[in-house]
Amino acid sequence: MNILAIESSCDETAVAIVQDGRKVLTDQIASQVELHRIYGGVVPEIASRMHIEAIYGLADQALANANLTRNDIDAVAVTYAPSLIGAVLVGVNFAKAVALALNKPLIPVHHIRGHIAANYLAYPELKPPFLCLVVSGGHTMFVDVKDYTDMEILGTTLDDAAGECFDKIARVLDMPYPGGAMLDKAAQSGDDTKYKLPKSKPGENPYDMSFSGLKTATLNLIHHAEQVGEELDINSLCASFSATVSDTLTSRVELALKQTGYKKLAVAGGVAANSRIRADIAKIAEQQGAKLYLPPLSLCGDNAAMIGAQGYYEYLAGNIADMNLNAYATKSIIGETL
Ligand code: KG4
Ligand code: ZN
């Protein structure tokens, strides 16, 4: 089954064709990052307009690259939630038009379910159930992936997402948007013990976490140094910050592996590209005797291949939409409108 998959939820327009949920025939991405960089973050209106300009050409290019025609497409999958509403709407409307014109099923896919499914592309042997740590720009949570379309949220951030914090600190350090990757690079040559930063303590739900205290403390430290004219060791600050985020995540990963008994652990989302988090989680997984599924860097960030992968399993589960499909800025991974 060839699924034409569309992703337009943030600042990447992406179109892919994925066969039977596991084989990527083509994966086209047009990034808008350079445009938004001027403003230090995504400008929603610009994102929507750029999606409109890019999406038709990308879809044609996807067919040409895969050496397929429109008649070879069996279904259309699209990110319908959550993120910038105008941006998601572009993809949803394009997907509706294609599905209607080709008279093929329309499959709505939750963006974060897509991130989790990126692992199915990288690891053909991976099947639910497994535990998944989701760390993206907008979400940080532990998910019990009971089945391809049956998930439970074990815990989540109570405030900021990890990616948001990486970007905020990077921005204050004058690193260009989105700064997570550059902060990660700087951290690699820093001393992670140089700056003491506050770590989120376990709350009522031990899998929940908080990053706003860490963000504020790091921002205060930077502003204070500026005010008193103290020169900061930027690489070490980045290393200390990354280590603190990683500790918050890995301590909960360890607990979750122990309590759930899962021996399969996956990581998903843009922040899964972080070198410190990857290394620390690999250690914990090894200690706990769990097999670790880390997507390659190319599948950590936003892409349409992951939407095609999850779309296949949504289709098998009967999750098909009609022409009334809407886009949602917020929607839980387990389906209910927030
Ligand atoms: O999953 P994603 O592509 O978009 C959302 O669905 O939100 O995640 C993007 C986030 C950005 O915050 C970006 O700075 C962060 O992932 N990111 C990183 C790294 N690479 C990307 N954060 C830390 N270290 C990295 N190496
Ligand atoms: Zn994403």
Question: Which three-class secondary structure string do you get for 44-91?
Answer: HHHHHHHHHHHHHHHHHHHHHHCCCCHHHCCEEEEEEECCCHHHHHHH
Task: Please name the residue whose Cα sits nearest to atom 5 of ligand 1.
Answer: 137
State if residue 21 touches ligand 1 by the CB under 6 angstroms criterion. no
The bound ligand whose nearest atom lies closest to the alpha carbon of 176 is 1
CB atoms within 10 A of CB 284: 20
Task: Please name the residue whose Cα sits nearest to atom 4 of ligand 1.
Answer: 137
On whether the CB atoms of residues 295 and 118 are closer than 8 A, the answer is yes
Cα–ligand 2 centroid distance for 321 (angstroms): 22
State if residue 274 touches ligand 1 by the CB under 6 angstroms criterion. yes
* pLDDT tens for each residue of the chain, 338 residues long: 999 999 999 999 999 999 999 999 999 999 999 999 999 999 999 999 999 999 999 999 999 999 999 999 999 999 999 999 999 999 999 999 999 999 999 999 999 999 999 999 999 999 999 999 999 999 999 999 999 999 999 999 999 999 999 999 999 999 999 999 999 999 999 999 999 999 988 889 999 999 999 999 999 999 999 999 999 999 999 999 999 999 999 999 999 999 999 999 999 999 999 999 999 999 999 999 999 999 999 999 999 999 999 999 999 999 999 999 999 999 999 976 54
pLDDT at 22: 98
Cα–ligand 2 centroid distance for 323 (angstroms): 25
pLDDT at 336: 61
Which atom of ligand 1 is found nearest the CA of 276?
Answer: 24
pLDDT at 243: 98
The neighbourhood of ligand 2, an ion, using CB within 5 A, equals: 136, 302
State if residue 177 touches ligand 1 by the CB under 6 angstroms criterion. no
State if residue 105 touches ligand 1 by the CB under 6 angstroms criterion. no
DSSP 3-state of 176: coil
Task: Please name the residue whose Cα sits nearest to atom 14 of ligand 1.
Answer: 180
State if residue 246 touches ligand 1 by the CB under 6 angstroms criterion. no
DSSP 3-state of 274: coil
On whether the CB atoms of residues 186 and 238 are closer than 8 A, the answer is yes
Cα–ligand 1 centroid distance for 257 (angstroms): 24
* Nearest partner of 163 among 270, 55, 16, judged by Cα: 270
On whether the CB atoms of residues 3 and 17 are closer than 8 A, the answer is yes
Length of the chain in terms of residues written: 338
Q: Where are the alpha helices (DSSP H) in the chain?
A: 33-37, 44-65, 85-102, 111-122, 162-172, 180-187, 212-228, 234-260, 275-287, 297-300, 305-316
Give the tokens for residue 27.
């994966």
What is the distance between the alpha carbons of residues 10 and 137, in angstroms, rounded to a whole number?
Answer: 10
Q: What angle do CA 149, 153, 154 make, to 5 degrees?
A: 135
Cα–ligand 2 centroid distance for 9 (angstroms): 8
Give the chain's mean pLDDT: 97
CB atoms within 10 A of CB 337: 10
Which atom of ligand 1 is found nearest the CA of 115?
Answer: 1
State if residue 184 touches ligand 1 by the CB under 6 angstroms criterion. yes
DSSP 3-state of 2: strand
Which atom of ligand 1 is found nearest the CA of 139?
Answer: 7
Cα–ligand 1 centroid distance for 178 (angstroms): 7
Cα–ligand 2 centroid distance for 37 (angstroms): 18
The bound ligand whose nearest atom lies closest to the alpha carbon of 136 is 1
For the stretch 42-88, pLDDT in tens is 999 999 999 999 999 999 999 999 999 999 999 999 999 999 999 99
